[in-house]
A and B are shown apart, each in its own frame.
Chain A
Amino acid sequence: MNKPFYKTHCACKKVLLVLLLWVAGGHVVPVRAAEFCSDNYYIDVTLPNQARWDMCWEHRNREGIVLHKIHYTPRGGVRRMILNQASLAQIHVPYDDNGARYHDISDYGLGNNYMSDLSAQECPSGKLLAFGAKKVICQQVETDNSAYRYADDRLLGNALSLFSVSKIGAYNYIPSWRFMDDGAIEPGVRATGALQRYGSGNIEAHGWLVSDNKVGIAHLHNFFWKLDFDLGGTSRDDYVEELDFVQQNGRSRLVTQRFTSEAARKIDPSRLRRWRVVDGNLKNSKGLPMSYEIRLPQAEYQDMGPANEPFTHNDFYVTRYKACELFASHNPGGNSCADNLAGFVNDENLQGEDLVVWPSTTFYHMPRAEDAPRMDAHWSHINITPRDWHDANPLSEAGDMSGSVLTNSGGGNGTDTGGGTDTGSGGSEGNGSVPAIIYQDDFETGSRWSLNPQGTDTASSGQWQAGLAQATRYQDVVVQLGNAASGHQALVTGLSAGASVGSNDIDGGLTSMRSPAIDLPAKARYTLTMAYYFAHLWNASRLDVLRISIEQANGSRHVLLEQTGNLNNRSAQWDTLKADLSRWAGKRVYLLVEASDAGSGSIVEAAIDHVIIEKIASGTDSGNGAGNGTGTGGNSSQRVFSEDFEGDLNWELWALNPAQNDTASSGLWQAGLPEATAYQESVMQLGSAASGHRALLTGAQAGRSVGSADIDGGNTTLRSPLINLAAGRGYQLQLEYYFAHLWNTSAADFLRISVENQQGVRQQVLSQVGVPSIRQAEWATLTVDLSQFAGSSIHLVLEAADGGGGSIVEAAVDNIRIDSH
């Protein structure tokens, strides 16, 4: 296969973006939210002051390290998502002599061969995170910053710091993220290395004379970030507001503007401008919408570039999420996406949409003599700080002073009122208003739940217990997780691993546990969110059950979730149950969890964690959020898996050549931008994807001739991540594909798509075989019912082969989606 010298669109890796599914039409559906990636790509740090940040990371060829599902848990508070995705989206480096205008991320990339392997010396007191054999992230905890100080009441703060290093030309870029224990985020970039371009004395006007007849050429680094905020985990209820202060007659008056359509904005130092991203539903206990504020404190050298670089003409952009809007400039072209940020802003409506904000900042580098031969790091950053995300300062125990009478301003001693409301998780009663959080249990301090509340339990082992779980596995199947969905502890059926996998699982019948009484005040609406898993080995049956119900004081029950066993292995994996409890407003209810192993000693484990019942803000619809994928619109249809191949495939989840018996020497499966290939008049590979820009291809490049990058020498196999299909529902798989060949083809050439369960049982759902005539590439849709796999975990297996003597064969797949109904 040919590799172009630069601007490669090569096989890429992508973390599976899990779709959030929502309560629809009163039905209860499981939502995946508690675990978004494998442990290798999961960062979960509790800072010394007990604030917690957890997130997934991904390595991409272009953007380098991309962070996903960034969750923040204030000390003693509720874990909530801040950002669905965050990364740098361009480093644009125009030189003052116009001798070069680099677009470093789109045209070179921070990942792949540009990504540096870090040494322990570069990461003092830190931890190195590996991508394959390469250590690509340094994770550190910074301590001893001032968190707050008021007279003698003072606290030092901490931050989780993550950075990677990418070498592009003479530069080392160091994208960095600091996550503070008060919820603030500081994205930044350092740059070090050596100056990329020098000239002789005659171009001194474009730079600085650093030594005799040697001019370091001045240049800009325009840094752009792409921040997909999904505050509270809901993608479509955020809005963005601009905050200005109009100065007049000795006053500065606050004026806010809410963006209803896409916007490109500049800082305005005479109006002290800043922005905030606000959740449309979440409110703190003071009734204020929860939000994050964005300030651009380093705008001294903001640059307005030439007319053909309109993305430099503003500092802050708000757009509607689009999968193909990847880079601030040199964005991969095509029909559905613009070339740069300025084009992304095309007046699309933002209301009820998934929003993306693109802040930028500029470093102007006028070289100094000190920049040669090596250049010390310079540093650029932006500020993202919580605004009303908390009820009060999350790190302080001090009472709320904002309603207090303050009489002593001297030394500040004794001004704590002490009688204020608690900070943190809420639950304190306001003045007649319903608190936002009605009930919460993370099982971190034992359990207030009662075991066997009705005296009906029959299980002889594996009873529900709150505590630290130990991982249990049987061969490759994890049946009990060693981690909690939140914090450290969970409610689990038999905490300890025991001597063998069968030691402390549920046996002999039913175990049940009931929550304390929960009073839901009248005239309000409520949601329940709960993490759970249910796992079993192949020897389970329909008699093995996890059931979660609402029980009323009179004993009546309503089942929210029921999962039953079958003859497949099902690994433990945290999922989220979300249910609307509004119908019980004004009533006293209990949550009841039941698990049983009614069969003959099969291996069954279950757990729940992170239970929250929240009041839904009045006047707003519940459950109107949708995943960040395509909204399917059907009122009970939910997407459980989708892959559009727009990003890099995550090779921790996807497997190329999983059985190690592939024989193809070229044209291996890869996600990429297709380049059209034709032989005479016959199209062998299409130049466009079925959806978006990229597709899964057998060799993305056209190569020098039509035969350059087609499949040769045998078969190539790609296996999808494990997809859990919950029991009791129907499933439909759809995807687009084509299979193309010339006349010199035989039956040894094929495209095959199969569904495989964890026991290796494979069922073919598509088989296309070559015949000795020309078949041109043309996208077709495959629709398959997967309902028979409900209650098991499956892989999709994609195989393409050129088994003959070097005939021309191309195949492609795009836009895979599995919906439940």
Chain B
Amino acid sequence: MKLIKTSLALCLLVAWQSASAAPNNTCQGEKIRKSFASGALWEFCWAVKDQEGLTLSQVHYQAPGGFYRRVLGEAYLSQIEATFDDGAIDPVFVSTQLGLGGDNLQTLSAQDCPNGALKSLNGRNVLCTRTQQAGYLYKYASQRQTERFEISTTSQVGPRSYSIRWAFYENGTMEPAVGLSGILPAVGESDAQYGWPVGANGEIGSSFIDHYLWRLDFDIDASYNNDVVEEINSVPSADRLRKSKTITTLQQETARSLNPETKRFWRIRDGDALNGSVGYISYELVPAHYDQSKANSLNEEWLNDDVYFTAYNACELRAANNMVSGCGSNVTRFLDGQNLVGQDIVLWYKQSNHYLPRSEDSNRIGTRWNSFKLLPRDWNSSNPF
């Protein structure tokens, strides 16, 4: 039986390319502005690269009555690495070897974007923007409903369909997501222990893993190069009745991992700007999918940790298969001891999606989303709503 996965491995989409110029204050592509009835405002630029597909730049948020401030200089899904559980073929770097942009980027119709607006690129509608109800903003003595603004694109890459979606909530929260659908990439190829029977005659659908490697270049507020990364741990006492918080400033480029034992999380804060009260303005990473986060059967160095923090370097575009001459080949090679305090910070976050086929996937894979959140922390002195 012929396999779709073989065709995946065959073509190499991109040639080695040279580093592009620092984009730090540059709007790449077209600007989108979304203001809510409350006065909350999101503004950013969107563009499509042949490899990574949808990229955002100059992402700004303004709370009602608050300051208009930049959060991200540039943000995108930098690489999708696809592997099969049976290890029969080498990993495929979907973004660089096949590409989410170019012809793989799907043309959208109005029915793909109900109650929304389509935006075009080179004469094709490829981006859907829409505003969705999002339930309670809060409920206390009174309640308030909220909305989110979503943008999305879809790419068909061989058997797999990838949707990239960014949700911008009225209260400053962002939720980047990637949705997997399409058809099973390999059937009738693997032994039973590396998949699940899906065919009418018991053919095995190979199980597979997608690693989603996000690149988030934080440029908080006006100056992009005065940011600080803090790691927060809440260390349990010996009797486990109490937890004591420690805040550690990460001094130089580093690889870090989640740790449920200490409730570890990270925030990127501005070096100077306070929220009008006692807090530095910041965004924190709210991770997800820890339950599949240590998928790394090939022991690849860039999959060994959940997050990496680096100082901005224009040639460091992708967490794996970086494909830029004169630059490190993956995120672990970007860690070369540069200072992180008061710098232009790039956060690299990895999520893994292990897919074990079911009968339900034998004609179409039901869309499975992998997402995480970026949450304002002390961006305001109090709840602006």
B4 at the interface (CB under 8 A from A): yes
Q: Do the beta carbons of B2 and A405 come within 8 Å of each other?
A: yes
Residue of B nearest to A194 (CB): B140
A-side contacts of B183, CB under 8 Å: 150, 401, 406, 412, 415
In whole angstroms, what is the CA distance A438 to B196 when docked? 26
Which of A298-306, A564-572, A690-698 binds B? A298-306
* Cβ of B73 under 8 Å from chain A: no
- Using CB atoms, name the residue of chain A closest to B91: A250
Contact with A209, one of B163, B199, B279 (Cβ below 8 angstroms): B279
Interface check B326, CB cutoff 8 A:
no
Contact status B161-A269, CB under 8 Å: no
Contact of A407 with B2 at beta-carbon distance under 8 Å, contacts A250-B298, A371-B383 already known? yes
Q: Which of A184, A245, A297, A369 contacts B381 (CB 8 A)?
A: A369
In the complex with contacts A150-B364, A297-B291, A387-B360, A368-B143 CB distance below 8 A: no
Q: Is B27 an interface residue (CB 8 A)?
A: no
Q: 1/0 per position for A167-196, CB-CB distance to B under 8 A?
A: 000101010000000111000001011100
B241 partner residues in chain A, CB cutoff 8 A: 94, 98, 306
Min CB gap A306→B, angstroms: 4
> Cα distance A302–B264 when bound, in Å?
11
B253 at the interface (CB under 8 A from A): no
Q: Given B278, B362, B364, which contacts A148 in the complex, CB threshold below 8 Å?
A: B364
Knowing A121-B143, A370-B379, A393-B366, the reply to whether A431 touches B265 (Cβ < 8 A) is no
The interface bits of chain B over 127-146 (1 if a CB of A lies within 8 angstroms of the residue's CB, else 0) are 00000110111111001011
Assess whether B240 is interfacial by the CB under 8 Å rule.
yes
Among the 9-residue stretches B18-26, B41-49, B202-210, the one with 4 or more Cβ atoms under 8 Å from chain A is B202-210
Q: Distance in Å from the Cβ of B136 to the closest Cβ of chain A?
A: 5
Chain B residues contacting A206 (CB-CB under 8 Å) are 242-245
Which of A193, A208, A412, A423 sits near B156, CB closer than 8 Å?
A412
Instruction: Tell me which residues across on chain B come within 8 A of A151, comparing CB atoms.
Output: 106, 156, 161
B158: interface (CB < 8 Å): yes
CB distance from B363 to the nearest CB of A (A): 4
Residues of A within 8 A of B154 (CB): 149, 154
Distance between Cα atoms of A270 and B137 in the complex (Å)? 36
The tally of residues in A whose CB lies under 8 Å from a CB in B reads 120
A273 with B291: CB separation less than 8 A: yes
Interface range, B side: 35 or more
| Alpha-carbon gap, A368 to B384, bound state (A) | 12
B209 surroundings in chain A (CB, below 8 A): 252
Residues of B within 8 A of A193 (CB): 138-140
Distance between A526 CB and nearest chain B CB, rounded to angstroms? 22
Of A229-237, A374-382, A624-632, A783-791, the segment with at least 4 beta carbons within 8 Å of chain B is A374-382
Min CB gap A100→B, angstroms:
11
Binds B, one of A139-147, A513-521, A770-778: A139-147
Which one of A148, A156, A368 contacts B376 once the chains associate, using CB atoms below 8 Å? Answer: A368
Q: Are B292 and A269 in contact (CB under 8 A)?
A: yes
User: Which residues in A have their C-beta under 8 angstroms from that of B287?
Assistant: 300
Give A249 to B292 CA distance when docked, in angstroms. Answer: 18
Q: Is the CB of B297 within 8 A of A250?
A: yes
Point out the residues of chain B lying under 8 angstroms from A153, CB to CB.
364
Cβ contact within 8 Å between B179 and A146: yes
Across the A-B interface, how many residue pairs have beta carbons closer than 8 Å?
A: 343
Query: B277 to chain A: which residues have CB within 8 Å?
Result: 210-212, 369
A663–B196 CA distance with the chains assembled, in angstroms: 66
Whether a CB of chain B sits under 8 angstroms from the CB of A284 is yes
Q: Counting CB contacts under 8 A, is B78 at the interface?
A: no
User: B198 on the interface (CB 8 Å rule)?
Assistant: yes
Chain B contacts for A127, CB-based, 8 A: none
Interface: B67 (CB within 8 A):
no
Is B114 part of the contact surface with A, judged by Cβ < 8 Å? Answer: yes
**C-alpha gap A372/B112 in the complex (Å):** 39
Are A377 and B202 in contact (CB-based, < 8 A)? no
Q: Which residue of A lies closest to B144 (CB)?
A: A374
A396 near B: Cβ within 8 Å? Answer: yes
List 7 extra interface pairs beyond A150-B156, A206-B245, CB under 8 A. A149-B181, A209-B279, A269-B292, A369-B278, A391-B362, A398-B363, A431-B200
24 contacts between A and B (CB under 8 A): A121-B143, A148-B367, A153-B364, A193-B138, A193-B139, A210-B382, A245-B85, A251-B85, A253-B194, A270-B294, A284-B359, A286-B199, A286-B200, A296-B291, A298-B288, A368-B376, A370-B172, A370-B377, A376-B383, A390-B359, A393-B364, A406-B187, A421-B200, A431-B201
**Top-3 shortest CB links A-B:** A250-B87, A247-B297, A402-B362
